[in-house]
Amino acid sequence: MIKNLLTSICLIFISSCSTLAFWSDEDVDNLEPVALQSIQNKFPISVVWKRSLKGESSLASFKPSFYSGNMLFADPEGNIVSLNPKSGKENWKMALGRQLSSGIAAGFGKLIVSDVNGFVIAIDSDTQEIIWEKNVGGEVLSNVKVTASLIITKNSVGELIALDSNSGEQKWIYRSQLPALTIRGTGEPIIEDGIIYAGFDNGRLGAFQLETGLFLWDQPISFVEGSSELENLIDADSAPVVTKQLLFAANYQGNLTAFDISQKRPVWNSKSSSFHSPVVNNNMIMVIQDDGSILSFSLVNLDASWTSKDYLRRQLSNGVMYKNLMLVGDFEGYIHSVNPLTGLTLGRKRVSRKPIISIVTFRDLVYVVDQESNIIAIKL
């Protein structure tokens, strides 16, 4: 749900909530996206196949899912397609006849999508028949998590909900304290060792027992520091990541924070403002900020490493690791490959004329989704 004033601001000034830099005091001329600098293309990117679906969305949750060796994709207009991930050849296609609010998740014989009216819909992966649907009281703007017994979902009114996988019956619910203003989007929860970790729009990270929903602990990713509701937007709109016994979470106008899972508390943080999950590669962790800059830190001692401002205000997508390079997309449809050790760009290709909203990897290929539901498979 887009709320009040922020809705108007996002719709008027930006095509996705990847930057809110217009609140800066810089001169207007300095708010233009940074022009791309020429590079030596050491790792050329090639397009393997392309496929177009329907509907426009700036939400990164519209991304492919992979199940039984096939790619599943749902577009905002309710079309669901199964593709061969190597060739892009269609296996089957169905139309739900309703607008969707987020992409598709798959597992344990089920495909799960959510519509704009707050319904979570379970579809049989073999017959493509709807098994059940359940209204969860608010739009689901991030992909659900599918387990053998439960479907874990977050809605736009700050609730974390577990539904029975076979019937859709609500098994448990947790209601977070929702601030007056939030940004459109909610971060995916993650599941580690039977525990769900989820970030909320109040800037806190919570831990819950998977099967029962028992609240285990919560801690702040960051605290509010401003004097207005806009300054106090600290939404956590990305999934946390776990590495080296630490859980890292980032939020908007807040921090990149490391939590010690065993101690159930934050042990380190650095100022950051991001809508994307941190990217981990060997002994480095990188965070793509809302203004297009990229920060990096050593996982050995959490010291700052390099900072890149090559893509300021270019509305960067999420980043993924692929063949020891970080790939990230921008608002002009370029894919950039960045050396995670130095921050230098080693490859670049324009794969679309529309903004890139999500990138995922599967086996030997990378799959890019743009704002108009075009899927582009690429490789190095």
Please indicate, yes or no, if residue 307 is contained in any of the structural domains: yes
CB atoms within 10 A of CB 25: 5
Segments of the chain scoring below 70 in pLDDT: 1-30, 179-183, 185, 226-228, 231-232, 234
The whole-model pTM stands at: 0.90
Closest C-alpha among 184, 206, 188 to residue 197: 206
What integer pLDDT is reported at residue 223 of this predicted model? 82
Alpha-carbon span 345 to 223, nearest angstrom: 34
pLDDT given for residue 266 in this prediction: 96
365 within some domain: yes
Residue 150 lies inside a defined structural domain of this protein = no
Q: How many domains does the chain have?
A: 1
- Domain housing 370: 1-60+284-380
Q: What's the CA gap between 309 and 330, in Å, rounded?
A: 13
Our CA angle for 311, 326, 51, nearest 5°, is 90
According to the model, what pLDDT value does residue 230 have?
74
Alpha-carbon distance of 194 to 314, in angstroms, equals: 38
Per-residue CA distances from 181 to 6, 45, 188, 231 (Å): 7, 40, 19, 10
Q: Are 275 and 238 in contact (CB under 8 A)?
A: yes
Tens digit of each residue's pLDDT (9 = 90 or more) over 289-302: 999 999 999 999 99
In a domain, 306, yes or no: yes
**In a domain? residue 171:** no
Helix (H, G, I), strand (E, B) or coil at 31: helix
Whether residue 199 lies inside any domain: the answer is no
> What three-state secondary structure class fits 151?
strand
Please give the sequence-ordered ranges of beta strands (E in DSSP) within 230-340, or none if there are none: 241-243, 246-250, 254-260, 265-272, 279-281, 284-288, 294-298, 304-308, 319-322, 325-329, 334-338
Give the number of other Cβ atoms within 10 Å of residue 14's Cβ: 16
CATH of the domain at 321: 2.130.10.10
pLDDT tens digits, one per residue of 114-141: 999 999 999 999 999 999 999 999 999 9
The one-letter amino acid at 360: V
Q: Which residues contact 338 (CB under 8 A, 6 or more apart)?
A: 294, 308, 319, 325, 326, 327, 328, 344, 345, 346
- What whole-number distance in Å separates Cα of residue 263 and Cα of residue 250? 19
- Round to whole Å and give the CA distance between 170 and 190: 19
- pLDDT given at position 262: 95
Contact 62, 75 (CB under 8 A): yes
Domain assignment present for residue 6? The answer is yes
Q: What is the pLDDT of residue 18?
A: 35
Sign of CA dihedral 339, 342, 347, 351: positive
Measured in whole angstroms, the distance separating CA 281 from the mean position of its chain's CA atoms is 18
Cα 172 to Cα 136, 215, 277, 379, distances in angstroms: 11, 11, 26, 42
| pLDDT tens for each residue of 216-247 | 999 999 887 766 677 667 678 899 999 988 99
Q: How far apart are CA 270 and CA 255, in angstroms?
A: 5
Structure-token pair, residue 98: 């309703």
Report if residue 84 sits inside a domain: no
Residue 11: per-residue pLDDT:
33
